[in-house]
Amino acid sequence: MAITAALGELSGDYALDTAHTRIGFVARHTIGPKVRGRFEEFKGGGHLDGDDPPKSRVELTIQAGSIQTGNAKRDDLLRSKFLNLKDHPTITFTSTGVRQVDETAFELTGDLTIRGVTKPVTMALEQTGTDHDPQGKARIRVKGSAVIDRADWGVNWTGAAGLVGRKVMLEFDVTAVRPA
């Protein structure tokens, strides 16, 4: 199937293909290059209504402790001080709306919960491909991003005041699979 497959042909329930999905982030650091990281453990899925995209929905649960930036000391600080992993082991996103912008572009709005604080977020998404795997399962690929102010969710630590920028870009490169 090509990228331009009719959305109606893609309707159905999907699960994340975690082996082919990347959920990451980029944050500014004032004394060095941008910090890039990712989450290694997550699950999610949703329903695509290709005939009426606003009826589509997505849910995602991320294990906050799976954060990786390539620096063990920084990762430990992110888990304990920024994300307060002890009290808030997961980060969740539940969609509340979908708007189709053009043939392959969408805006996905939903509730993002970090550290027990829930705020609305809108992210730009682009359908980057569709195909069928060898078992006949439909696969859809989507990438997107959203910029958030981490302070809105209480993701702060006084020991890093002024060293880490408040704006964080969330990045998604997702493959979802619909059973045959």
Report which listed range, 47-56, 57-66, 68-77, 150-159, is most confident: 57-66
- CA gap 131, 170 in Å, rounded: 26
Using an 8 Å Cβ cutoff, are 157 and 81 in contact? yes
**Position of tokens 């990786």?**
68
Q: How far apart are CA 27 and CA 3, in angstroms?
A: 31
Query: What average pLDDT does this structure show over 81-101?
Result: 95
Q: Specify the residue for token string 């808030």.
A: 88
Q: Is 1 a residue whose pLDDT tops 90?
A: no
Query: Is residue 42 within 8 Å of residue 62, measured between CB atoms?
Result: yes
Q: What is the pLDDT of residues 98-119, one digit of tens each?
A: 999 998 999 999 999 999 999 9
Tokens representing residue 30 in the block: 């004032």
Residue 28: pLDDT band with limits 50, 70, 90: confident
Averaged pLDDT for residues 173-179: 95
* Residue 4 confidence (pLDDT): 45
User: What does the pLDDT look like over 132-171, one tens digit per residue?
Assistant: 888 889 999 999 999 999 989 988 876 655 566 789 999 9
Which domains are present in the chain? 7-178 (2.40.128.110)
- Given a contact cutoff of 8 angstroms between Cβ atoms, the answer to whether 131 and 2 are in contact is no
Report the predicted TM-score, pTM, of the whole model to 2 decimal places.
Answer: 0.90
- 11 forms bridges with which residues in the sheet? none
